[in-house]
């Protein structure tokens, strides 16, 4: 009877187990189906979001926050996500691909090329000094009549300008007439008398020629034997009357300038070349000159002289160009823009001008070491053209340099260097080295940003509880917290031995408990 009952109980148990297995399989999804549903399709639909690490100060100060906030200027703190805080060794920088695209970073290879150098300078049109003539009588007299009486009037070579009266000229003419007549009268006289009279005539004639009396007037004097009252002065060159000081009836003294005539068929352009570019300018080099009055015209000239002195006020050296001036289009006094072809050399290693960040103290180029990895390098630059600059050290041929958004990358690099400290510490925005949390009691709140805290153990640094001094990232960090209050705080190592509190908040004290960790033998660490 008992064995029969045991058999019945066994059958019932087996049946119950089978029923449970059936019901369980009926309501549960098949494992294979579940595996397929959570495979590639699910992975494609659910995009893994980046983990937000912290927010950093937008101005590069060593201050971070676990929550969004604004700085004292009202600027939002910048979020830092996982993967963005990693930096390559040797002071480089790693930037994610999407950020590279957002920044608009473009690169170009450093290559060897010949630099087509052009020196640009401002200049002005001047009269060719060799083509400038001045009319200055060598005797005292009076301006009798003006034949050309307007400044700027064109005159031809030999054209009469003015007539003058001089008692000395009249007297010299009469002496010459008397002497020549005496020579003729003493033709049959003694040799000594005739020689003396001939010498007097020769002296009078020489005096007239020394005073620049025209040869045609002397010939007329010899022929007619009559002295003329006035002497006519003619233009020695064809050109333009640049200056006229003669006035009808005025008295003039020997050597006084009465007229100035310039030949403007050829002019000079005096260009002021910067001190650092003067070594590139050579005599005989071709030059292009543009004048604002003729924007569509280009005048060609040649460097004829480089002046040996420098103007200390402007730190420039004058360079003289000579230009043909048909039609007198170039007027003395006009401003000119000059482009001088500098002496070209061989090929040199060069990068685009936009790749060089010049702070005035040093020059930096951002080199793309790998995809998303950039290295700021200090370089030594040399000669440059309009678009390229020679690099003598710091970059190798074939390396990619950043030519767009390099200022943003350089700012990011400087920011991370500042957050990491100047002593070679790990970057302050690295999560492993940046943020440490602890609890304790605020003992002393100094006015200079220093605080004394008695804190408990810090597992991330393997510190025991102790009392030590910290520095506040800014006074607002400890706002509203009084000395003696239990606190929870976060801190970073800005540089070796300098611990900066970036977040501090008051905590409610546990009933019957004081500070979280009493001071111990490590006090004053």
Residue by residue, DSSP assigns 365-389 as EEEEEETTEEEEEE-EEEEE-SSEE
**Mean pLDDT for the stretch of residues 329-334:** 93
Residue 172 has pLDDT above 50, yes or no: yes
How far apart are the C-alpha atoms of 366 and 381, rounded to whole Å? 14
Residue 397 has pLDDT above 80, yes or no: yes
pLDDT for 100? 74
pLDDT digit string, tens, across residues 355-379: 888 877 788 888 888 887 888 888 9
Residue 318 has pLDDT above 80, yes or no: yes
Radius of gyration of the chain measured on its C-alpha atoms: 49
Range with the largest mean pLDDT of 54-58, 81-85, 193-197, 249-253? 249-253
Averaged pLDDT score across all residues of the chain? 79
pLDDT digit string, tens, across residues 31-81: 333 333 344 444 444 456 778 888 877 655 567 788 888 876 667 788 877
Whether residue 438 contacts residue 468, with contact meaning beta carbons closer than 8 Å, is answered with: no
93-115+347-420 is classed in which CATH architecture?
Answer: Beta Barrel (2.40)
Q: How confident is the model at residue 248 (pLDDT cuts 50, 70, 90)?
A: very high
Give the residue, 368 or 19, on which the prediction is more confident.
Answer: 368
Question: Considering only CA atoms, which of 60, 82, 86 is closest in space to residue 73?
Answer: 60
Rounded to a whole number of angstroms, the distance between the first and last alpha carbons of the chain is 85
Residues above pLDDT 90, as percent of the chain:
32
Range with the largest mean pLDDT of 71-80, 306-315, 350-359, 428-437? 306-315
Three-state helix/strand/coil letters over 205-270: HHHHHHCCCCHHHHHHHHHHCCCCCEEEEECCCCEEEEEECCCCCCEECCCCCCEEEECCCEEEEE
**Mean pLDDT for the stretch of residues 103-121:** 85
Give the residue, 371 or 495, on which the prediction is more confident.
Answer: 371
How far apart are the C-alpha atoms of 377 and 282, rounded to whole Å? 34
Domain ranges of the chain: 2-45, 52-80, 93-115+347-420, 137-256, 266-341, 435-506
How far apart are the C-alpha atoms of 211 and 219, rounded to whole Å? 15
- CA angle, residues 108, 113, 119, in degrees to nearest 5: 105
pLDDT for 22? 43
Question: Considering only CA atoms, which of 422, 418, 256, 264 is closest in space to residue 331?
Answer: 264
Give the class (CATH, top level) of 435-506. Answer: mainly beta
Q: 367 phi and psi, to 5 degrees?
A: -105, 135
Residue spans of alpha helices (H) in 298-355: none
pLDDT for 80? 78
266-341 is classed in which CATH architecture?
Answer: Beta Barrel (2.40)
């Amino acid at each position: 009877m008992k064995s029969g009952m045991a058999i019945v109980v066994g059958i019932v148990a087996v049946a119950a187990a089978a029923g449970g297995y059936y019901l369980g399989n009926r309501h549960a999804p098949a494992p294979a189906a579940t595996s397929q549903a959570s495979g590639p399709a699910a992975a494609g639909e659910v995009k893994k979001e980046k983990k937000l690490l912290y927010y950093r100060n937008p101005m590069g100060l060593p201050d971070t926050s676990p929550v969004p906030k604004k700085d004292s200027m009202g600027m939002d703190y910048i979020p830092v996500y996982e993967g963005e805080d990693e930096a390559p060794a040797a002071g480089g920088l790693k930037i994610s691909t999407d950020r590279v695209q957002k920044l608009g970073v473009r690169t170009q290879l450093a290559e060897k090329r010949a630099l087509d150098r052009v020196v640009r300078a401002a200049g002005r049109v001047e009269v060719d000094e060799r083509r400038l003539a001045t009319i200055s009588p060598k005797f005292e007299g009076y301006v009798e009549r003006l034949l050309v009486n307007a400044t700027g009037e064109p005159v031809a070579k030999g054209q009469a300008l003015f007539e003058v009266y001089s008692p000395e000229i009249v007297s010299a003419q009469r002496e010459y007439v008397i002497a020549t007549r005496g020579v003729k009268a003493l033709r049959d006289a003694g040799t000594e008398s005739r020689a003396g009279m001939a010498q007097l005539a020769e002296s009078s004639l020489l005096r007239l020629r020394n005073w620049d009396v025209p040869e045609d007037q002397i010939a007329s004097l010899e022929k007619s034997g009559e002295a003329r009252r006035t002497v006519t002065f003619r233009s020695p060159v064809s050109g333009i009357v640049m200056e006229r000081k003669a006035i009808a009836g005025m008295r003039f003294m020997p050597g006084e300038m009465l007229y100035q005539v310039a030949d403007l068929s050829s002019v000079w352009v005096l260009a002021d070349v910067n001190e650092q570019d003067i070594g590139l300018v050579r005599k005989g080099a071709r030059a292009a000159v543009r004048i604002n009055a003729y924007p569509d015209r280009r005048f060609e000239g040649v460097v004829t002289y480089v002046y040996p002195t420098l103007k200390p006020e402007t730190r420039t050296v004058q360079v003289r160009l000579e230009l043909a001036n048909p039609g007198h289009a170039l007027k003395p006094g006009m401003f000119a823009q000059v482009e001088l072809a500098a002496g070209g050399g061989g090929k040199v290693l060069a990068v685009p001008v936009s790749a060089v960040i010049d702070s005035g103290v040093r020059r930096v180029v951002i080199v793309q070491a790998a995809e998303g990895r950039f290295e700021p390098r200090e370089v030594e630059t040399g000669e440059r053209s309009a678009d390229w600059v020679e690099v003598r050290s710091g970059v190798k041929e074939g390396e990619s340099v950043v030519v767009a958004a390099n200022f943003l990358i350089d700012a990011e690099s400087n920011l991370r260097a500042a957050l990491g400290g100047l002593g070679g510490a790990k970057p302050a925005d690295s999560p492993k080295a940046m943020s440490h949390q602890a609890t304790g009691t605020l003992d002393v709140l100094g006015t200079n940003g220093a605080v004394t805290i008695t804190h408990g153990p810090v597992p991330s640094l393997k510190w025991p509880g102790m009392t030590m001094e910290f520095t506040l990232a800014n006074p607002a960090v400890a706002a509203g917290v009084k000395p003696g209050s239990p606190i929870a705080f976060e801190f970073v190592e800005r540089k070796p031995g300098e611990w900066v509190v970036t977040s501090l908040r008051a905590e409610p004290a546990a009933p019957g408990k004081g500070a979280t960790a009493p001071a111990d033998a490590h006090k004053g660490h």
